[in-house]
């Protein structure tokens, strides 16, 4: 297997892709014969690139500096091909690939990872075809796959001129999180939940991803993108689809992918009146951000899923930068049962998937407080997923899936095409942007979107 990492000197490569490849190597999860070729527009020697890879692993890997023996066996397989890569000039890449093929086999599968600015995806795809590097290859696209409905369609067409859909892996790393995958396992493995996974029993779904992070490192990218495209129509929609999907025929790759894409087609186009935008007060003072920027750094939205299962159940989505805390929580809020007990708390039965870090599943229940009488209390139990085994970080997990040829945790163009239809009313009529203090909970207007129990 020959992994070509385009954009290998960039931010994502440094933070995620290179440390993940090393993690897979350390855990012996890479194929027995593999080579990594970093690509970029500048010129570097193999050793200079290896040194960059080492620094990335030390800074962003999970386990600190690599051991000498693990590092040496990794570094020996790392090469660099400079001079860029374009239709009219392929730079050094074809020669470096030829050398790799002569070492590990002429039939080695090519995996191209496009860790590049999204505006360059189409041009690099065309260049792969032009230089005969597309046939039989797997190609990984970072997010966002298109930055508008029009650019999505153009990119999709460019990709399918060069590749069959089976060759394409569009990454959304929230699908690679352990807790996200546990959503369908927990639901379909436990009658307790599958029987109650519908509008009769569920009051609302909340997907809440507040971040304390600012955008200083990525001002240019962020100001052109905003929270709605960066997080809502990508990660939060995909997670919503994981919750909302109908039972797939099996948990096999194609069936899971089908089920997720099918339910996205039932997402109702968002109503701008049900979307709140905010911008943190210090945003415009950031270097690289215009004094009058109206980019949203916070979004709260009420999404409806038009299937019988979810009729009338709001999916409340919220995310923002520079908030008072960081969390990634998906909560299924169950309805209060009719019956002899009155004055039940609105959030007295909640199943929560903590998507951050190693992940956890929490169950909040209304119980009787010990003692005389029937005083109620709300208690929470938790299963931290790392107590059950050693999971892989999301990027490592998804890269391992690409290497195995498993597309179940990737996105598909039919689903993405509908995502743009759902987003269009908001893109055409963006809501007013409410300022919010740095380190706060976001604009007060967002509170009104939530149901009787408020945001959890
Ligand atoms: N950074 C992050 O945290 C995340 C990023 N992503 C996605 O990953 C992809 C890469 O992001 P990121 O690494 O931050 O991006 P960068 O801006 O760091 O760009 C990556 C590399 O692309 C190369 N490049 C090739 N062609 C061009 C070009 N025409 N203009 C500019 N650079 C070019 C550059 O390398 P060289 O100069 O060597 O050619 C650059 O270092 C994007 O699609 C992004 O949306 C997704 C999630 C998180
Ligand atoms: O893709 C992105 O995700 C991160 C949050 O993801 P994490 O799980 O790695 O913390 C977000 O901060 C960033 O803005 C967005 O581009």
- For the stretch 5-36, pLDDT in tens is 999 999 999 999 999 999 999 999 999 999 99
Kindly report the average pLDDT of the chain as a whole number: 95
Classify strands 360-368 and 168-170 as parallel, antiparallel or unpaired. unpaired
Using 50, 70 and 90 to split pLDDT, how confident is the model at 131? very high
CB-neighbour burial class of residue 366 (10 A; exposed 0-12, middle 13-18, buried 19+): middle
CA of 117 to the centre of ligand 1 (A): 4
Please, what is the end-to-end C-alpha distance for the chain in angstroms?
Answer: 46
Residue listed under structure tokens 């930068």:
321
Q: Was 7 annotated as part of a binding site?
A: yes
pLDDT tens column, 73-128: 999 999 999 999 999 999 999 999 999 999 999 999 999 999 999 899 999 999 99
If one residue of 115, 117, 173, 229 were mutated to test the ligand 2 pocket, choosing by the most ligand atoms within 8 A of its CB, it would be 173
Ligand with minimal distance to 235 CA: 2
Radius of gyration of the chain (CA): 23
**Cα 215 to ligand 1 centre (Å):** 15
Q: Is 66 exposed, middle or buried (0-12, 13-18, 19+ CB in 10 A)?
A: buried
Architecture of domain 174-449: 2-Layer Sandwich (3.30)
Residue ranges with strand state E in 165-201: 168-170
Judged by its nearest atom, the ligand closest to the C-alpha of residue 20 is: 2
**Does 11 show up as a binding residue in the annotation?**
yes
φ, ψ for residue 166 (rounded to 5)? -65, -15
Q: How would you classify the pairing of strands 298-303 and 275-280?
A: antiparallel
pLDDT single digits (tens) 296-343: 999 999 999 999 999 999 999 999 999 999 999 999 999 999 999 988
pLDDT of residue 8: 98
| 56 and 18 Cβ atoms separated by less than 8 Å | yes
Mean pLDDT of 136-155: 94
**Is residue 354 lining ligand 1, measured as CB closer than 6 Å?**
no
Report the CATH architecture of 2-170.
3-Layer(aba) Sandwich (3.40)
For 251-256, what is the mean pLDDT? 88
Residue 361 backbone phi and psi in degrees, to 5: -120, 130
The pLDDT of residue 254 is 87
The finding on whether 401 has its CB within 6 A of some atom of ligand 2 is no
149: buried, middle or exposed (CB in 10 Å: 19+, 13-18, 0-12)?
middle
Give the distance between the most distant pair of CA atoms in the chain: 82
d(CA 441, CA 320): 9
Integer Cα distance of 133 and 128 in angstroms: 5
- What's the 7 CA to ligand 1 centre distance in angstroms? 6
Active-site residue set? 235
pLDDT digits (tens, 9 = 90+) for 196-246: 999 999 999 999 999 999 998 889 889 999 999 999 999 999 999 999 999
DSSP secondary structure code for residue 135 in this structure:
T
CB 450 within 8 A of CB 285: no
Which residues, at least 6 apart from 301, have a Cβ–Cβ distance to it below 8 Å? 232, 270, 274, 275, 276, 316, 317, 318, 426, 449
Mean pLDDT, rounded, for 413-435? 96
For residue 38, pLDDT beyond 80: yes
Return the half-sphere exposure (C-beta side, CA atoms, 13 A cut-off) of residue 432.
Answer: 7
Helices 149-162 and 413-428, packing angle to 10 deg: 160
Neighbours of 192 (CB within 10 A): 11
Instruction: Output the pLDDT for position 396.
Output: 96
The domain locations on the chain are 2-170, 174-449
Q: Is 12 annotated as a binding residue?
A: yes
């Amino acid at each position: 297997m020959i992994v070509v990492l385009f954009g290998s000197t960039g931010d994502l490569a440094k933070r995620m892709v290179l440390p993940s490849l090393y993690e897979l190597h350390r855990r012996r999860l890479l194929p027995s014969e593999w080579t990594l070729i970093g690509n970029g527009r500048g010129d570097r020697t193999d050793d200079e690139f290896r040194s960059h890879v080492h620094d990335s692993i030390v800074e962003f890997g999970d386990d600190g500096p690599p051991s000498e023996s693990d590092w040496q066996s990794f570094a020996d397989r790392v090469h660099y091909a400079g001079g860029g890569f374009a239709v009219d000039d392929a730079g050094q890449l074809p020669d470096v690939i030829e050398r790799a093929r002569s070492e590990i086999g002429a039939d080695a599968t090519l995996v191209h990872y496009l860790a590049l600015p999204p505006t360059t995806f189409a041009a690099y795809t065309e260049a792969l075809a032009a230089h005969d590097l597309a046939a039989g290859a797997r190609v990984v696209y970072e997010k966002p796959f298109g930055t508008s409905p029009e650019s999505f369609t153009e990119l999709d067409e460019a990709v399918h001129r060069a590749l069959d859909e089976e060759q394409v892996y569009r990454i959304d790393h929230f699908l690679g999180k352990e807790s996200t995958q546990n959503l369908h396992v927990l639901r379909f493995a436990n009658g307790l939940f599958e029987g109650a996974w519908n509008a009769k029993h569920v009051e609302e779904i909340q997907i809440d991803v507040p971040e304390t992070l600012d955008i200083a490192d990525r001002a240019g990218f962020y100001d052109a993108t905003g929270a709605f495209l960066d997080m809502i129509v990508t990660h939060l929609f995909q997670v919503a689809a994981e919750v909302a999907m109908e039972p797939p025929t099996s948990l096999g790759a194609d069936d899971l992918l089908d089920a997720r894409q099918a339910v996205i087609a039932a997402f109702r186009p968002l109503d701008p009146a049900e979307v709140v935008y905010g911008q943190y007060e210090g945003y415009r003072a950031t270097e690289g951000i215009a004094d009058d920027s109206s980019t949203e750094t916070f979004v709260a939205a009420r999404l409806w899923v038009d299937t019988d299962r979810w009729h009338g159940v709001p999916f409340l989505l919220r995310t923002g930068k520079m908030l008072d805390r960081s969390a990634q929580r998906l909560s299924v809020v169950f309805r209060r049962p009719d019956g002899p007990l009155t004055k039940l708390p609105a959030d007295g039965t909640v199943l929560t998937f903590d998507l951050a870090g190693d992940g956890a599943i929490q169950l909040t229940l209304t119980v009787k407080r010990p003692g005389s009488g029937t005083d109620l209390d709300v208690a929470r139990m938790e299963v931290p997923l790392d107590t059950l085994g050693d999971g892989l970080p999301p990027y490592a997990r998804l890269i391992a899936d690409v290497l195995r040829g498993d597309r179940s945790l990737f996105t598909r163009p039919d689903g993405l095409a509908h995502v743009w239809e759902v987003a269009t009313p908001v893109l055409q009529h963006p809501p007013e942007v409410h300022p919010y203090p740095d380190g706060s909970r976001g604009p007060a207007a967002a509170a009104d979107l939530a149901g009787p129990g408020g945001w959890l």
